[in-house]
C-alpha cells in the first residue's frame, strides 16, 4: 500500500502531468545549465570594467584607462577601435542578459512546486528587465553615429551627430557616474527577481555572481540528468 506521503513525493526531474511534459522540463534544465556556464565563462557582465581594471594594471598597453563620458570621446574611441568601443559600451552584456533570461526560465521550472506564484512573478520581472536592457543598450547605435560623424562633411552634420550621441548616452552611458535610466531600470527589475548581489560593491559582487552562475549551472544540469534516468 502506498502512503499519502509517498504519493505526494515527486522527483525534481519528473512532472505529475506525464513523461512528455517531464522531458520538456529536463530539456529546459539542460539549456539553462548551458546558459549559466556560458554566462560565467564567456559572456560575463561588465567585460568593459574588466578591461579597464586590466588596463590599469598594465596588462594592456593601449586603449583608454577609463570609459569615455562624452559623445565626442566615444566617437574617437570607435574610430580608433570599434571592437574596444563595443566592449566598453557593454554590448556583450546584451548576450549576458539573454542568457540570464534563459536561466530564470529554467529556475522557474525547477522551483515551480515550491511557490508557483513567486516563481511566476520572479520570472516575469526578470524577463521584463532583460527586455528593457535590450532596448536601452546603445552600443550599436553609438557605433553607427560614430561612423556618421566621421563621414560628415560639414560642422552642422557633425554637431547633429554629437547631439544624437549625447541623447543616446542619456539612456545608457557606461563612462558616466550616472549610467542612464534604461540601465538602472533593467538592473532593478533583474535583481528584484534574484535580490542581494546588486547591493554589494561591483568588485565583490562579481565573485558572488560568478559563483551563482556556476552553482545554478551545475544544479540544473544535475536535475536534467536525474530526470532522464527516471522511468517513464
Dist CA 9 CA 11 (whole Å): 7
Q: What is the pLDDT of residue 202?
A: 53
Stretch 49-64: mean pLDDT: 80
Instruction: Kindly indicate the confidence band of residue 200, based on its pLDDT and cuts at 50, 70 and 90.
Output: low
User: What is each CA distance from 159 to 15, 71, 72, 152, in whole angstroms?
Assistant: 60, 11, 10, 9
216 vs 45, more confident: 216
4 vs 96, more confident: 96
Q: What is the pLDDT of residue 96?
A: 87
Instruction: Kindly indicate the confidence band of residue 13, based on its pLDDT and cuts at 50, 70 and 90.
Output: very low
Residue partners of 147: CB distance under 8 A and separation at least 6: 78
Q: Is a pLDDT exceeding 50 seen at residue 159?
A: yes
Q: Is a pLDDT exceeding 90 seen at residue 62?
A: no
- In 3-state terms, what secondary structure has residue 208? helix
In this predicted structure, which of 2-11, 15-24, 161-170 has the lowest mean pLDDT?
2-11
Q: What is the pLDDT of residue 151?
A: 94
Among 226, 231, 232, smallest CA distance to 12 is for: 226
Most confident option among 71-80, 87-96, 189-198, 222-231: 71-80
Cell 560642422 locates to: 155
Angle of CA points 127, 30, 216, to nearest 5°: 65
Dist CA 209 CA 231 (whole Å): 35
Q: What is the pLDDT of residue 189?
A: 53
Q: Cell for 63? A: 586603449
Residue partners of 30: CB distance under 8 A and separation at least 6: 220, 221, 224
Cα-Cα-Cα-Cα torsion 222, 46, 187, 135, nearest 10 degrees, comes to: -100
Q: Is a pLDDT exceeding 80 seen at residue 99?
A: yes
Amino acid at each position: 500500500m502506498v502512503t499519502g506521503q509517498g504519493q505526494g513525493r515527486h522527483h525534481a526531474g519528473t512532472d505529475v502531468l506525464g513523461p512528455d511534459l517531464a522531458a520538456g522540463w529536463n530539456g529546459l534544465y539542460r539549456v539553462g545549465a548551458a546558459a549559466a556556464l556560458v554566462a560565467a565563462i564567456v559572456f560575463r557582465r561588465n567585460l568593459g570594467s574588466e578591461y579597464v581594471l586590466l588596463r590599469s594594471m598594465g596588462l594592456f598597453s593601449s586603449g583608454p584607462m577609463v570609459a569615455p563620458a562624452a559623445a565626442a570621446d566615444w566617437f574617437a574611441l570607435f574610430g580608433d577601435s570599434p571592437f574596444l568601443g563595443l566592449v566598453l559600451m557593454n554590448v556583450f552584456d546584451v548576450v549576458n542578459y539573454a542568457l540570464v533570461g534563459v536561466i530564470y526560465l529554467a529556475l522557474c521550472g525547477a522551483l515551480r512546486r515550491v511557490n508557483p506564484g513567486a516563481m511566476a512573478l520572479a520570472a516575469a520581472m526578470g524577463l521584463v528587465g532583460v527586455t528593457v536592457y535590450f532596448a536601452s543598450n546603445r552600443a550599436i547605435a553609438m557605433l553607427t553615429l560614430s561612423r556618421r560623424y566621421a563621414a560628415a562633411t560639414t560642422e552642422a552634420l557633425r554637431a547633429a551627430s554629437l547631439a544624437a550621441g549625447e541623447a543616446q548616452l542619456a539612456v545608457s552611458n557606461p563612462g558616466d557616474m550616472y549610467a542612464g535610466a534604461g540601465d538602472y531600470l533593467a538592473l532593478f527589475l533583474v535583481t528584484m527577481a534574484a535580490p542581494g548581489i546588486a547591493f554589494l560593491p561591483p568588485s565583490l559582487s562579481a565573485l558572488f555572481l560568478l559563483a551563482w552562475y556556476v552553482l545554478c549551472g551545475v544544479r540544473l544540469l544535475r536535475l536534467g540528468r536525474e530526470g532522464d534516468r527516471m522511468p517513464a
